Amino acid sequence: MIDSDLARQVLLGLTALVFAALALRTWWVPDTVARELGYGVSDANGYSELHAIYVGLWLMHAALGLWAALHVDQAVLGDILALLLLGQPLGRLIAAPRFGLPRGPLLAFFALEVIGGLALLAVRPGD
């Protein structure tokens, strides 16, 4: 474990920026993002679901990251973000026996999600 308010704030801020960037990109070019993720989106329900998860939920991940960075003394905020982040590779692992591991950029995301989530849990506030 590393005890450092600054390191925790940096990790939280970077996590927030990544989620904000991904959400805004999806909002801007949803068809491109859907295609990159292997989705075929063709109707209102598909776009609604894409925006619910890849825009709305990810913007709230970004907001939680920013809030946690501004209130670093409340460790539970960053811990919740870490658990949400680790939920993504968990879902990928659940799918792996039936469908295989993700490929291409999603395999890199898998690694970054694990590393980022564990880093947030390892770096504790309180220098």
Average pLDDT, the chain: 96
Q: Would you say 12 and 81 are in contact if contact means Cβ atoms under 8 Å apart?
A: yes
pLDDT at 126 over 90: no
Task: State the pLDDT at residue 127.
Answer: 66
Greatest C-alpha distance within the chain: 51
pLDDT at 53 over 80: yes
pTM beyond 0.75: the answer is yes
